[in-house]
Amino acid sequence: MSDWTAAEKDSLLGLKGMNPPVKSGNIHQAPPNQSIPQNWDWRSVTPSVVNPIKDQGQCGSCWSFASTATMESIYAITTGTLYSLSEQNLVSCSFLYGNLGCNGGWYYYSWKYTLTHPLESEANYPYTSGTTTKSGSCMYNSALGLVSTTGQADVLTDTTSIMTAIYQQPQAVAIEADTAYFQTYTSGILTCMTCCGTTIDHAVTAVGYGMDPTYGGYYIVRNSWGTSWGNAGYVNIGMADSPGVCGINQYVAYPTV
- Checking if the pLDDT of 3 tops 80, the result is no
Q: Is residue 34 part of a domain?
A: no
- Model confidence at 32: pLDDT above 90: no
Element (H, E) at 45: none
Which CATH number fits the domain that encloses residue 101? 3.90.70.10
Residue 123 lies in a domain: yes
Is residue 1 domain-resident? no
Of residues 7 and 245, more confidence is placed in: 245
* Active-site residue set: 62, 202, 223
How far is Cα 62 from Cα 153, in angstroms, rounded to an integer?
20
Among 16-25, 51-60, 236-245, the range scoring the smallest mean pLDDT is 16-25
Classify 226 in phi/psi space as left (phi over 0), alpha (psi -120 to 50) or beta. left
pLDDT digits (tens, 9 = 90+) for 213-242: 999 999 999 999 999 999 999 999 999 999
The reply to whether 48 falls in a domain is: yes
Cα of first residue to Cα of last residue in the chain, in angstroms, is 36
- 36 within domain boundaries: no
Name the DSSP letter for residue 255.
Answer: E
Residue 35 lies in a domain: no
Q: Residue 19: pLDDT band by 50, 70, 90 thresholds?
A: confident
Question: Looking at residue 26, what is its pLDDT?
Answer: 86
Mean pLDDT of the chain: 94
| pTM for the whole structure | 0.95
Answer whether 172's CB lies under 8 Å from 107's CB. yes
Q: What is the tally of structural domains in the chain? A: 1
pLDDT band at residue 14 using 50, 70 and 90 as cut-offs: confident
Backbone angles phi, psi at 117, to 5 degrees: -130, 85
For 125-161, how does the pLDDT look when each residue is reduced to its tens digit (9 = 90+)? 999 999 999 999 999 999 999 999 999 999 999 999 9
Judge whether 75 lies within some domain.
yes
For position 2, what pLDDT does the model report?
Answer: 66
Q: How confident is the model at residue 51 (pLDDT cuts 50, 70, 90)?
A: very high
Domain of residue 81, residue span:
6-29+41-256
- 232 assigned to some structural domain: yes
